[in-house]
Amino acid sequence: MAIAVAAVSLVGCNQEDPIKTKRNRLEKEMEEESKKVYEISKFTFDNWSQVQNPATEGGKATLMPYWLPVEKEDKDATEKGRFWKSASNKGFSMNFFNEDRNHADKYPVYWTEQGKSGKGLQLQTAKGLMFFGTGSWIIPGSLYNGLLDEKIMAVKPLESTLFGTEFAKLPSKIKGYYQYKAGPKYIDGKAGKFDTPAEGKDQGVISGVFYEITEDETYLNGITLYTDKRIVSMVKMIVDDTEGDSWKAFEVKFEPVDKERFKAIDFKKKKYRLAIVMSSSANGDKFLGAIGSRLLVDELEVIAEKKDNQDKK
């Protein structure tokens, strides 16, 4: 018995104290975190302007019937020159049978006067149009940064949305405030008949996708946004109905998707893009949604680790 006790005592002395090990690990993580410097990109959605058509030679620029948020990154007031893009608004404006196409406040992307602070972003799923197999009965309210290929919008709507702008920092988290209310009837936007019910209930989505730019410099699009092999890290927050008119705070962290690619991040030798995508119908890329679903977003922040920190790793 004495020999057994001595043996147990000896093993106990040789083993590391798990509590001490955990404490040391946490202290090391806190020390490393304190050395990091973060930058915050904030989007208040307070300022909006009407989208311009490019001026024709010798002519004058005309205005589109819809508006988009104004950001300091904007090059001009055209769709192409803006930081934020909306295939939703562009598609809504192309439906000449739609009586609401000349009313900016009826568009899928507009503002709300009752933001968390000042104005806020309003994304609303609207009624679309099916025409000889093209189009969709629903148009989700969606806003993203990147490019819009207007030439193929009508025949390849998902491929026309090109997500992301160059980003030389490591995104850490996205935070802000939102409200959500699903529309009354979840439908299949590609069904032969309007108002064909689909299984389930509508939800909204707020996502961020950080991916590597490869030699061909192609973008993620509506088909590859969440599945492309070049994705380094990602956050995808599905939102359900919120209570009343109160704003709900959120903070979601980017998680590595490809661990090897994440470990190999090199801002000196490689380039990356960050896509921020928000939609009133989370399955809008599958043409599923409910007309009237509404997602409000305000005080959106993208928090990222500065490039200098990454160079030291």
Distances (CA, A) of 237 to 172, 202, 209, 222, 278: 15, 14, 12, 17, 10
Q: How far apart are CA 116 and CA 96, in angstroms?
A: 35
Distances (CA, A) of 54 to 76, 95, 103, 189, 258: 10, 20, 21, 32, 40
Which has more confidence, 272 or 40?
272
Q: What is the pLDDT of residue 17?
A: 73
Averaged pLDDT, 256-267: 95
Q: What is the pLDDT of residue 82?
A: 96
CATH 2.60.120.890 is held by the domain 37-311: yes
**Structural domain boundaries of the chain?**
37-311
Sequence-separated (6 or more) residues with CB below 8 Å from residue 245:
114, 179
Averaged pLDDT, 36-55: 88
Residue 171 has pLDDT above 70, yes or no: yes
Averaged pLDDT, 79-90: 96
The least confident of 87-101, 135-149, 238-252 is 87-101
pLDDT in tens, 95-104: 888 889 999 9
Predicted structure pTM score: 0.86
Sequence-separated (6 or more) residues with CB below 8 Å from residue 231:
209, 210, 211, 220, 257, 258, 261
- How much is the mean pLDDT over the chain? 89
Q: How far apart are CA 291 and CA 195, in angstroms?
A: 9
